[in-house]
Amino acid sequence: MAREKVGALVMLLFSLAYGYQATQIPLSFLSQQEFFTPRTMPYALAVTGFVLSFLILVLPTVDEQGKTSLAEETQGMDWKPAIQLVGLMLFYGLVMKWLGFVIASIIFLLIGFRILGERRIKRMLLAAIPLVLVLWVVMSMLLGVYIAPGEIFHMLGII
Amino acid sequence: MLDSMMNGMMNGISTTLIPINILMVLFGCFMGSLIGMLPGLGPITAVALMIPVTYGLDPATGMVLLSGVYYGAIFGGSTSSILINAPGEAATVATALDGYPLARQGYPGKALAIAAYSSFSGGTIAVVMMMFFAPMLASVATSFQSADYFALMILGLTAVSAFAGRGGVLKALLMVVLGLMLATVGTDQTSGIQRFTFGSLELLDGIEFLLLAMATFALTEALMIILKRDESSDSLKPKMIGFKSLKVTKEEFKFIAPTIARSSILGFFIGVLPGAGATLGSFMSYGMERNLAPPEEQKKFGKGSLRGLAAPETGNNAASSGSFVPLLCLGIPGSGTTAVMLGALIAYGIEPGPRMFIDSPEVFWGVIMSMYLGNVFLLVLNLPLIPYFARLLAIPRNLMVPMILFFSLMGVYLVTFNDFDIMMMVFICVAAMGLRLMNMPMAPLLLGFILGGLMEDNLRRALLIYDDSIAFMWQRPLTLGINLATIIILLLPLLRAFFARRKKAVSVTQG
Q: Where are the domains of chain B?
A: 2-510
pLDDT band at B163 (very low <50, low <70, confident <90, very high): low
Name the least confident of B403-417, B446-460, B491-505.
B491-505
- Asked if residues B156 and B275 have their Cβ atoms less than 8 Å apart, the reply is yes
* Residue B194 parent element (H or E): strand B194-195
pLDDT the model gives residue A40: 93
- Asked if residues B15 and B49 have their Cβ atoms less than 8 Å apart, the reply is no
- Asked if residues B80 and B38 have their Cβ atoms less than 8 Å apart, the reply is yes
- A10 and A57 inside one domain: yes
- How many angstroms separate the CA of residue B217 from the nearest CA in chain A? 15
Burial B376-415, CB ≥16 within 10 A → b, else e: ebbbeebbeebbebbebbebebbbbbbbbbbbbbbbbbbb
φ/ψ of B204, rounded to 5, equals -60, -40
Nearest to A56 by CA among B496, B497, B435, B170: B170
- Asked if residues B330 and B354 have their Cβ atoms less than 8 Å apart, the reply is yes
Size (chain B), residues: 511
Give the C-alpha separation, B246 to B380, whole Å. 12
Which of B187, B191, B221 has the most A C-beta neighbours within 10 Å, making it the best mutation to test the interface with A? B191
Residues 6+ positions from B469 with CB-CB distance below 8 Å = B463
- A38 and A92 inside one domain: no
Residue B5 in contact with partner chain A when CB distance is under 8 A: no
Considering CB atoms only, which of B188, B191, B406 is closest to A105? B406
Give the C-alpha separation, B104 to B304, whole Å. 9
- A11 and A48 inside one domain: yes
Q: Which one of A62-76, A82-96, B25-39 scores highest in mean pLDDT?
A: A82-96
pTM reported for the whole predicted model: 0.82
CB contact under 8 A, A93 and B423: yes
A-proximal residues of B, 179-208, CB under 8 Å: 180-181, 184, 188, 190-191, 193-196
The string of pLDDT tens digits covering residues B259-277 is 999 999 999 988 887 666 7
Burial class (CB in 10 A: 0-12, 13-18, 19+), A80: exposed
The string of pLDDT tens digits covering residues B387-397 is 777 676 677 88
Q: Establish whether this prediction's ipTM goes over 0.85.
A: yes
3-state secondary structure A8-54: HHHHHHHHHHHHHHHHCCCCCHHHHHCCCCCCHHHHHHHHHHHHHHH
- A150 and A85 inside one domain: yes
Listed residues A74, A92, A123: the one ending a domain: A74
CB contact under 8 A, B191 and A37: yes
- How many angstroms separate the CA of residue B46 from the nearest CA in chain A? 18
CB contact under 8 A, A41 and B184: yes
The string of pLDDT tens digits covering residues B114-162 is 988 898 899 889 988 888 888 887 777 777 888 988 998 888 888 777 7
Which residues of B fall within a CB distance of 8 Å from A135?
410
- What's the CA dihedral at B171, B177, B183, B186 to 10 degrees? -120
Listed residues A74, A92, A109: the one ending a domain: A74
Which residues of B fall within a CB distance of 8 Å from A52?
170, 173-174, 177
Q: How far is CA B317 from CA B31, B138, B280, B484, in A?
A: 17, 22, 11, 30
- A70 and A83 inside one domain: no
The string of pLDDT tens digits covering residues A32-82 is 888 889 999 999 999 999 999 999 999 988 777 778 888 888 888 999 999
The string of pLDDT tens digits covering residues B35-86 is 888 766 778 888 888 888 887 788 889 988 998 998 888 888 888 788 777 6
Residue range of the domain that includes A58 = 3-74
3-state secondary structure B336-349: HHHHHHHHHHHHCC
- A109 and A69 inside one domain: no
Which of A11, A32, A43, A90 has the most B C-beta neighbours within 10 Å, making it the best mutation to test the interface with B? A11
Nearest to B219 by CA among B407, B55, B43, B447: B407
- How many angstroms separate the CA of residue B200 from the nearest CA in chain A? 14
Residue B468 in contact with partner chain A when CB distance is under 8 A: yes
Give the C-alpha separation, A53 to A16, whole Å. 11
Listed residues A74, A104, A120: the one ending a domain: A74
Which residues of A fall within a CB distance of 8 Å from B229?
76-78
Per-residue pLDDT at B422 exceeds 80: yes
Closest residue of chain B to A110, computed from CA coordinates = B402
- A92 and A125 inside one domain: yes
Instruction: Give the total number of structural domains in chain A.
Output: 2
- A87 and A150 inside one domain: yes
- How many angstroms separate the CA of residue A158 from the nearest CA in chain B? 22
pLDDT the model gives residue B78: 84
CB contact under 8 A, B174 and A52: yes
The string of pLDDT tens digits covering residues B206-243 is 998 889 988 998 899 889 888 887 655 554 444 444 55
CB contact under 8 A, B397 and A116: yes
Helix-helix angle A121-136:B397-416, to 10 degrees: 20
- A41 and A67 inside one domain: yes
Burial class (CB in 10 A: 0-12, 13-18, 19+), A152: middle
pLDDT the model gives residue B134: 82
CB contact under 8 A, B417 and A3: no
Q: How far is CA A63 from CA A5, A34, B16, B411, in A?
A: 11, 43, 45, 35
Quick one: average pLDDT of B91-99?
A: 83
pLDDT the model gives residue B240: 42
Quick one: average pLDDT of A111-139?
A: 91
- A68 and A89 inside one domain: no
- A96 and A133 inside one domain: yes
Helices (H), ranges, B57-203? 59-84, 93-104, 108-141, 146-162, 169-183
CB contact under 8 A, A89 and B226: no
A-proximal residues of B, 257-296, CB under 8 Å: none
pLDDT the model gives residue A8: 95
φ/ψ of B352, rounded to 5, equals -70, 150
A-proximal residues of B, 397-436, CB under 8 Å: 397-399, 401-403, 405-406, 409-410, 413-414, 417, 419-420, 422-423, 425-426, 429-430, 434-435
CB contact under 8 A, B414 and A145: yes
CB contact under 8 A, B193 and A26: yes
pLDDT the model gives residue B400: 86
Residues 6+ positions from B53 with CB-CB distance below 8 Å = B65
CB contact under 8 A, B196 and A8: no
CB contact under 8 A, B226 and A78: yes
- What's the CA dihedral at B394, B400, B401, B405 to 10 degrees? -150
- A99 and A145 inside one domain: yes
- Asked if residues B391 and B236 have their Cβ atoms less than 8 Å apart, the reply is no
* Residue B365 parent element (H or E): helix B361-377
Q: How far is CA B358 from CA A131, B128, B326, B352, in A?
A: 42, 20, 16, 11
